[in-house]
Amino acid sequence: MNGFTDACDYIEKVTYAIWNGPERDPELVRRYYGAQTPIHADGGDLVGADRVLQNTVARLRTFPDFDGVIDDTIWTGDEHDGYRTSMRWTWTGTNTGESVFGPPTGKRVRFSAIANCVVRGDQIVEEWLSSNPLSLARQLGVSADVAGMRWSDANPSTGAGARPTWEPKLDGAGLTVAETLVGIFNERDAEMVARNYREDAVQHLGTDRSNSSVAAIARWFQRWLDRCPDLVCTIDDSYWRPEDGTNPDRVATQWTLRGEHRGTPFRIACVSHHHLRDGRIVAEWTEYDELALLRQCGDLIQTEPN
């Protein structure tokens, strides 16, 4: 990883160089993504640097004043085995170009996402991208039904459901988060939220929804369980950075939720960042694609106020 101090430095500098400011250079995608690098998403996979570049240029045409801010990067690995990075970022922009949702609206938007990458040498060889395009549609003034139809036309696949080929190593703070998710969804442990979330914990769900107390967080989980009693959570990947004097324990977790709603099966891929202090969760950021969920079983979307 020549020219970079570590995996965090690499992924953040590459991201900013491609996307941000007057010096941004989307063509760098060809340097840092391979000819067959897949980006997995529930809305459909992008495969190869050419396709990734096409998607990047289209986004920048839709939002010419695009400006991204990286909120955090959690990483693990080494030069021998490669690195895994989980980068959470938020971008803003003005919709002055045509988008998949329709003609320009002139509206200013704010959008968040988490990208989990596998890096070997100086190249991204695989990526999982998690975000909620329904949030973007809402900000552009497009209803869920219309957004779902337009998104399906542009993204005919629901994604291959690819998951990491390695088994996650669960220990420390990462194990706490994994046990929390599995305990809530698989074991139906009604006390898990109260035990593992601090009373003043904040949960961020995509760009525009949040819960600011342990009671509200518990209600959010319970709504899932009430609607889909057979839910099963699978932990696909997990790694974490320990408290460093400035930051708390920071955990990146990639997980999949499967179940049925009124007889219709669905799966949804999620990526979360959790912050823990003294073994309890104090903050959470979770991204998942509600348009992919809409495509599978529309009345399951949890768009009601929290």
Q: What is the pLDDT of residues 3-57, one digit of tens each?
A: 899 999 999 999 999 999 889 999 999 999 999 999 999 888 999 999 999 999 9
My answer on whether 22 and 147 are in the same domain is: yes
- State which of 122, 154, 186 marks the end of a domain: 154
User: How many alpha carbons fall within 13 Å on the CB side of residue 100?
Assistant: 20
d(CA 214, CA 282) in angstroms, rounded, equals 10
My answer on whether 60 and 147 are in the same domain is: yes
My answer on whether 233 and 114 are in the same domain is: no
Domain containing residue 238: CATH number: 3.10.450.50
Q: What is the domain extent for residue 267?
A: 172-300
d(CA 280, CA 199) in angstroms, rounded, equals 10
Q: What local confidence, expressed as pLDDT, does residue 301 receive?
A: 64
Handedness of CA 164, 168, 172, 176 (dihedral sign): positive
My answer on whether 137 and 188 are in the same domain is: no
Q: Could you tell me if residue 267 is inside a domain?
A: yes
Q: What local confidence, expressed as pLDDT, does residue 304 receive?
A: 44
My answer on whether 56 and 144 are in the same domain is: yes
My answer on whether 103 and 201 are in the same domain is: no
Q: Could you tell me if residue 210 is inside a domain?
A: yes
Q: Could you tell me if residue 306 is inside a domain?
A: no
Residues of the chain with pLDDT under 70: 156-161, 299, 301-306
My answer on whether 185 and 114 are in the same domain is: no
My answer on whether 11 and 100 are in the same domain is: yes
Q: What local confidence, expressed as pLDDT, does residue 161 receive?
A: 66
This prediction's pTM: 0.95
Residue 23: CB atoms within 10 A of its CB come to 7
Q: Which residues does residue 112 pair with via DSSP β-bridges, in sequence order?
A: 90
Q: Could you tell me if residue 161 is inside a domain?
A: no
My answer on whether 94 and 204 are in the same domain is: no
Q: Could you tell me if residue 130 is inside a domain?
A: yes
Q: Are 62 and 97 in contact (CB under 8 A)?
A: yes
My answer on whether 140 and 33 are in the same domain is: yes
Q: Can you list the alpha helix ranges (DSSP code H) found in the chain?
A: 7-19, 29-32, 49-62, 133-139, 144-154, 172-185, 192-196, 214-227, 290-296
Strand 38-40 vs strand 123-131: parallel, antiparallel, or unpaired?
parallel
User: How many domains does the chain contain in total?
Assistant: 2
d(CA 133, CA 109) in angstroms, rounded, equals 12
d(CA 231, CA 52) in angstroms, rounded, equals 33
Q: What local confidence, expressed as pLDDT, does residue 306 receive?
A: 43
Q: Residue 56's closest CA among 5, 14, 85, 84?
A: 14
- State which of 106, 126, 154 marks the end of a domain: 154
